[in-house]
Amino acid sequence: MSKVCIYHNPRCSKSRQALALLEQQGDELEIVEYIETPPDSATLSALLQQLGMNARDLMRRGEDIYKELKLDNPDLSEAELVQAMVDYPRLIERPIVIRDGKAIVARPPEKVLELYA
């Protein structure tokens, strides 16, 4: 049995669906409600490395705060984008699931099953 970590937003239907699929697998779950307990910049940077993504790819570009902060500015550094997600965790795409050192963004929720293949 593995331990699985999910960065979860209980108000998000896709996140709830992914969590339900994980619960069916029987692994021990660590649920991080990242809106209430946002990751710090080091944790978020490590997650990005595990995901093989850059910060902008993990951002929810449709969020109002994305537009308000002009985060589409190509001159912003990776560190500035990471800090924006730390400061405004709603910007983080969800859910992020980690199992056995592999991380994915579970969109669609069924993607979590790739961690069991």
Query: What are the structure tokens assigned to 10, written together?
Result: 């209980």
Residues annotated as catalytic are 12
DSSP characters over the chain: --EEEEEE-TT-HHHHHHHHHHHHHT-EEEEEETTTS---HHHHHHHHHHHT--TGGGB-TTSHHHHHTTTT-TT--HHHHHHHHHH-GGGB-S-EEEETTEEEE-SSGGGGGGGG-
